[in-house]
A and B are shown apart, each in its own frame.
Chain A
Amino acid sequence: MTKDLQSCPFSSGKLGERFRPYEQDGMFEFLKEARESEPVFYNEELSCWVVTKKNDIQAIFRDPDRFSASNSQSPINAFSSEVQQIMVDGHYTREPTQANTDRPKHTRIRNISGQFLNTKRFAQYESQVRELTRQQIATLEGKNAVDLVEAVTYELPAKVLFLLVGVPQEESYRVKKWSDNTFNMTWGKPTEEDSIDGARGLVEYFDFCKSVANSRLKTGLENGFDGDDYVSHLLRTRNGDDEVLSMNEVASLIHGVLAAGHETTSNGSASLLWALLSDREQWQKLVKSPALIPNAVEEGLRYMTPFITWRRLTLTDVEIGGVAIPKGSAILMSLVSANHDEDSFECPMKFDVERKNARQHLAFGNGIHFCMGAPLARMEMKILLEELTQRYPNMRLDEEDTIQWPLNMGFRGPVKLKVDLGE
């Protein structure tokens, strides 16, 4: 166990009032106390019912008839009217298509995107993902002290996604910045000034997605839609029919995949490296036995879940863990708590790359919305570890540098990760 996870618990008082959803310090102790004493509690700050046990959360995920996903990406702090106006003026018409959509629309779209976002298709990208990973790692040559977030994990997953979406790699930095902004606007605590700036960013980001959709449509109409990228697949399936998929849905899907697909993997990768390097024995195991890497990836996702929380909305009166919750309530599922539930994982605070049931975590959700990018994220993280453990087996965490986490109630991963490459 590392010292960061042990730090002081939230002060005493009523559980719901002591919940600090944006902060990392004391999070694990607090959630443990909640699982033991009040596994379902109300938090006024977020106006949410917080659910902390794995079984309860899994049951919610598997019950789309009673739990809508429509609120899963709503800004936790509502936008001001000025911010909303910027978005109206900027024709920000992004619409729910996947994670925050219910059936039947969700099914229609998932069936189309699933023809592309699936294990088999992702496997075809394996050698290209490895090549991109090697190129990224090659930028470390000749250095000794580096911030792995900045140098590797921040941009790499975006480059992989660009390959799938068919967008030039030069755009990746711009898209990363827009995504950071989106995540801060949705799950963070931006000031009004940040939000106004942020809203302009959201507009630019969606304009970019619309332009990708429209330019691919134009070349498609001229030369046929035979591209092997995701956007060409969507346009081919659409075949000019709005009932199948509208152009606004195509742009929203591009936005969706660009947003969902890399910040998560960036955070997951950085957290995994941090956990491994915090306990060198675990790192050493992977250096010696690369066959353990796929399980280490699962353990990383369990231990430091990239989306610590995910939301649902009750469509009827429900009872969760014996607590009556009325229709129309927001439910905050603590995925990180589920993944540390003593009833499901033995010694949950121990990071163990050989844990037998590591993959039973809920980091990718569960049920009809189960993450479509999971096989890709797993592959990316596996390749990154294979390459890093072989190229820099003596890598160490820079002890001087204390780890920092973003102020975010949904989204967690180290802001930077300073290491000594051990060369």
Chain B
Amino acid sequence: MINVCWVYPDGTEHNASVAEGVNLMEAAIANDIESIYGECGGSMACATCHVEVDETSGVAAGQPFAMENEMLDMVESGRTPTSRLSCQLVASQELDGIRMKVTW
């Protein structure tokens, strides 16, 4: 299990432990995180699981995949240098302690 944290625009934090191997879009839905919908089921065909990784937590956002990159350009709230589709972030020890800003 790893610890993950979603931060809402008003600053409130929502923490959960997530089993390794689970993608963080699925984890968000399982934890009723607002504004994460994952409508395309993780096929990088929508951008409804967009998060901004807060690298001050010590966990890096990493590089988006090519298809993911294109979808990130279409995020309505605008993409940032640490934007990711959370369906492409799979829980692993490397991501333990990750903080993600949710946008709406």
Of A117-125, A201-209, A310-318, A327-335, which stretch is located at the interface?
Answer: A117-125
Do the beta carbons of B75 and A61 come within 8 Å of each other? Answer: no
A95-124 interface bits toward B, Cβ cutoff 8 Å, 1 = contact, 0 = none: 000000000000000110011001111010
Interface centre among B40, B42, B47 (most CB of A within 10 A): B40
- In the assembled complex, the Cα of A120 lies from the Cα of B76 at a distance in Å of 5
- In the assembled complex, the Cα of A374 lies from the Cα of B37 at a distance in Å of 13
B47-62 interface bits toward A, Cβ cutoff 8 Å, 1 = contact, 0 = none: 1000000000000000
Do the beta carbons of A119 and B74 come within 8 Å of each other? Answer: yes
Q: Determine the interface band of chain A, counting residues with CB < 8 A from chain B.
A: 20 to 34
B45 within 8 A of A: yes
Q: How many Å from the CB of B71 to the closest CB on chain A?
A: 8
B31 within 8 A of A: no
In the complex, which of the residues B40, B47, B73, B75 contacts A366, with contact meaning CB atoms closer than 8 Å? B40
With a cutoff of 8 Å between Cβ atoms, the chain A residues found around residue B43 in the complex are: 62, 367-368, 370
With a cutoff of 8 Å between Cβ atoms, the chain A residues found around residue B76 in the complex are: 119-120, 123, 375
Do the beta carbons of B47 and A370 come within 8 Å of each other? Answer: no
Q: Known: A119-B74, A120-B75. Contact between A364 and B39, CB under 8 A?
A: yes
With a cutoff of 8 Å between Cβ atoms, the chain A residues found around residue B42 in the complex are: 62
With a cutoff of 8 Å between Cβ atoms, the chain A residues found around residue B29 in the complex are: 360
Do the beta carbons of B41 and A367 come within 8 Å of each other? Answer: yes
Do the beta carbons of B70 and A111 come within 8 Å of each other? Answer: yes
Interface SS majority for chain A: helix
With a cutoff of 8 Å between Cβ atoms, the chain B residues found around residue A356 in the complex are: 32
**Which residue of chain B has its CB nearest to the CB of A63?**
B41
In the complex, which of the residues B40, B47, B70, B75 contacts A367, with contact meaning CB atoms closer than 8 Å? B40
With a cutoff of 8 Å between Cβ atoms, the chain A residues found around residue B37 in the complex are: 359-360
With a cutoff of 8 Å between Cβ atoms, the chain B residues found around residue A62 in the complex are: 41-43
Q: Known: A118-B74, A120-B74, A123-B76. Contact between A366 and B45, CB under 8 A?
A: no
B102 within 8 A of A: no
- In the assembled complex, the Cα of A317 lies from the Cα of B43 at a distance in Å of 24
B90 within 8 A of A: no
Do the beta carbons of B74 and A370 come within 8 Å of each other? Answer: no
In the complex, which of the residues A115, A123, A370 contacts B40, with contact meaning CB atoms closer than 8 Å? A370
Do the beta carbons of A370 and B75 come within 8 Å of each other? Answer: no
- In the assembled complex, the Cα of A58 lies from the Cα of B67 at a distance in Å of 23
B95 within 8 A of A: no
Of residues 19 through 36 on chain B, the ones whose CB sits less than 8 Å from some CB of chain A are 29, 32
With a cutoff of 8 Å between Cβ atoms, the chain A residues found around residue B70 in the complex are: 111, 114-115
A366-390 interface bits toward B, Cβ cutoff 8 Å, 1 = contact, 0 = none: 1110100011000000000000000
Do the beta carbons of A368 and B74 come within 8 Å of each other? Answer: no
Of residues 332 through 358 on chain A, the ones whose CB sits less than 8 Å from some CB of chain B are 356-357
**Which residue of chain A has its CB nearest to the CB of B74?**
A118
Q: Known: A111-B70, A119-B74. Contact between A368 and B47, CB under 8 A?
A: no
A-B contact pairs, 14 of them (CB 8 A): A111-B70, A114-B74, A119-B47, A120-B75, A360-B29, A360-B37, A366-B41, A367-B43, A367-B45, A368-B40, A368-B41, A370-B39, A370-B45, A374-B46
Residues of B within 8 A of A (CB): 29, 32, 37, 39-43, 45-47, 67, 70, 73-76
Residues of A within 8 A of B (CB): 58, 61-62, 110-111, 114-115, 118-121, 123, 356-357, 359-360, 364, 366-368, 370, 374-375
By Cβ-Cβ distance, the 7 closest A-B pairs, closest first, are A367-B41, A118-B74, A62-B41, A370-B40, A368-B43, A119-B76, A120-B74
